[in-house]
Amino acid sequence: MTASTRLGLHVYRAASKRWLALVVMLACALNMTASVAAENSASEEARVLQHLRDGGVAILLRHAQTVPGIGDPPGFRLGACDTQRNLSAQGRAAAARFGERMSVAGVRFSQVLTSQWCRCRDTATAIAGAAEDWSALNSFFDDRGTEARQSAEVRKRIAAIKRGETLLLVTHQVNITALTGVVPAMGEAVVVRAGKGGVVEVVGRLAGG
Residue type, 110: S
Fold topology of 55-206? Rossmann fold (3.40.50)
pLDDT, residue 169, reads 98
What is the pLDDT at residue 42? 81
Nearest CA-CA partner of 111 in 148, 155, 152, 158: 158
Calpha distance 178→202 (Å, rounded): 13
- In this structure, are residues 168 and 109 in contact, taking their beta carbons and an 8 Å threshold? yes
Looking at residue 186, what is its pLDDT? Answer: 98
For residue 198, what pLDDT is reported? Answer: 85
Q: What is the mean pLDDT of each run of 10 residues along the chain (209 residues)?
A: 53 56 54 45 92 98 96 94 98 98 98 98 98 98 93 98 97 98 98 93 94
φ and ψ at residue 17, rounded to 5 degrees: -65, -40
Amino acid 101 reads R
Backbone phi, then psi, for 168, in 5-degree steps?
-115, 115
**pTM check: above 0.85:** no
Q: What is the pLDDT of residue 23?
A: 53
**Dist. CA 109–CA 46, nearest whole Å:** 17
Residue 209 confidence (pLDDT): 78
pLDDT at 7: 47
Three-class DSSP labels, the chain: CCHHHHHHHHHHHHHHHHHHHHHHHHHHHHHHHHHHHHHHHHHHHHHHHHHHHHCCEEEEEECCCECCCCCCCCCCECCEHHHCCCECHHHHHHHHHHHHHHHHCCCCCCEEEECCCHHHHHHHHHHHCCCEECHHHCCCCCCHHHHHHHHHHHHHHHHCCCCCCEEEEEECHHHHHHHHCCCCCCCCEEEEEECHHHCEEEEEEECCC
